[in-house]
Amino acid sequence: MLSVGLTGGIGSGKSTVSELFASYGALVIDADRIAREVVEFGTPGLAAVVAEFGDDVLRADGTLDRPKLGAIVFGDRARLQALNAIVHPLVGRRSAELEAQAGPDDVVIHDVPLLAENGLAPLYDVVVVVDAAPQTQLDRLVRLRGMDTDEARSRMAAQATREQRLAVADLVIDNDGPLDALEPQVRKVWEQLRERGADVSRRSRR
């Protein structure tokens, strides 16, 4: 089994790439989705968040008010660290459980938006970065997602820089061009990952 970390800045095309990997047969583990699941209504994760941040972060129906929690931690390092200290171990544990279901020849793709920001590269056999110029990211967020320009800029500024992300990459997928230039690159990277996966599983069988 080969464990791959996939990352990229907001609007870089990470989800598009992970869908392609899934269509080739990868087991995709979506860290953002798991991060939502571990604080769903009735979970110990949500109880821990409430113990830290108070009832104010709950809606009337008892579910987490994500925008409110987001507003509390955005730009406040200590509060963000407190939240991460609750959520990250839960996400790590759930991801490991899902990864354990993979077969020896599988390639597991962990879609982790904040891989570079959180220093997670050492967790994976290979790190793949989806790269696009900041202007391209901004353009996609505003034009395709309907995000306000200032909002898009501030979200991008809160993430790692393009250079910081590339510094942790073993393989880079260039998604600055049109969509039809993306697919052949993802397929090529997929073939490289399959080869490495076969090497890893041969080693583990010896």
Output the known binding site for ATP. 11-16
Asked if 31 and 194 touch (Cβ cutoff 8 Å), the reply is: no
Asked if 196 and 126 touch (Cβ cutoff 8 Å), the reply is: yes
Q: How far is the CB of 114 from ligand ATP (least distance, A)?
A: 10
Closest to ligand ATP by CB, 11 vs 197, is 11
Pattern 123-162, ligand ATP, x by CB under 6 A: -----------------x---x------------------
Q: How far is the CB of 180 from ligand ATP (least distance, A)?
A: 8
Stretch 178-197 residues interacting with ligand ATP (CB under 6 A): 178-179, 182
Under the binding rule (CB under 6 A), the answer on residue 5 touching ligand ATP is: no
Q: DSSP state, 43? A: -
Which of the ranges 7-15, 38-46, 72-80, 161-169 carries the binding residues for ligand ATP, by CB under 6 A? 7-15
Q: How far is the CB of 169 from ligand ATP (least distance, A)?
A: 15
Q: Which one among 2, 3, 4, 12 touches ligand ATP, defined by CB under 6 A? A: 12
Distance between start and end Cα atoms, the chain: 14
Give per-residue burial for 28-46: e unless 16+ CB within 10 Å, then b. bbbbeebbeebbeeeeebb
DSSP SS3 for 164: helix
Closest to ligand ATP by CB, 64 vs 112, is 112
Asked if 70 and 35 touch (Cβ cutoff 8 Å), the reply is: no
Asked if 165 and 131 touch (Cβ cutoff 8 Å), the reply is: yes
Under the binding rule (CB under 6 A), the answer on residue 175 touching ligand ATP is: yes
Rounded CA-CA distance 105/190 in Å is: 13
DSSP string of 2-26? EEEEEEE-TTSSHHHHHHHHHHHT-
Stretch 89-118 residues interacting with ligand ATP (CB under 6 A): 113
Q: How far is the CB of 174 from ligand ATP (least distance, A)?
A: 9
- Residue positions forming the annotated binding site: 11-16
- In the numeric block, which tokens belong to residue 98? 């899902």
Residues that bind ligand ATP (CB under 6 A): 8, 10-16, 113, 140, 144, 175, 178-179, 182
